[in-house]
Amino acid sequence: MADPMRIRAQLKDGGVTEVRVLMAHIMETGQRKDGSGKIVPAHHIQNVTATWNGKTVLTAQFGPAVSQNPVMNFSFKGGAKGDKVSVSWSDNKGDKRTDEATIS
């Protein structure tokens, strides 16, 4: 299983919640060769979903062109200090990860 995501969620003026996520993942494209000349198989995040109080606030699709350990920023209207924001991803090999943060 992958390392935990680092998630920061902050309530800003105007009732907008800003979220920053660092996803630990190798994001291998499937086009690189190793030292012996063999192609390294693709292994990358495909789907990302973020929820707030059980309500989906973001869905995204990633591909092999996204860099290793991707960082994603997004914002949504609503949220209150103490609410939970949950971020989940799944990759092309069936691995999944879900982590959450408290809005500050």
pLDDT by residue (tens digit) across 74-87? Answer: 999 999 999 999 99
What are the tens digits of pLDDT across the range 25-54? 999 999 999 999 999 999 999 999 999 999
Question: Would the pLDDT of 90 be above 60?
Answer: yes
CA distance 76 to 44: 26
Domain 6-102 has CATH 1.10.1740.10: no
Cα→Cα distances 59→16, 49, 74, 82, Å = 18, 5, 11, 23
The pLDDT assigned to 1 comes to: 57
H or E, element range at 102: strand 96-102
pTM, two decimal places: 0.92
All structural domains of the chain with their residue ranges = 6-102
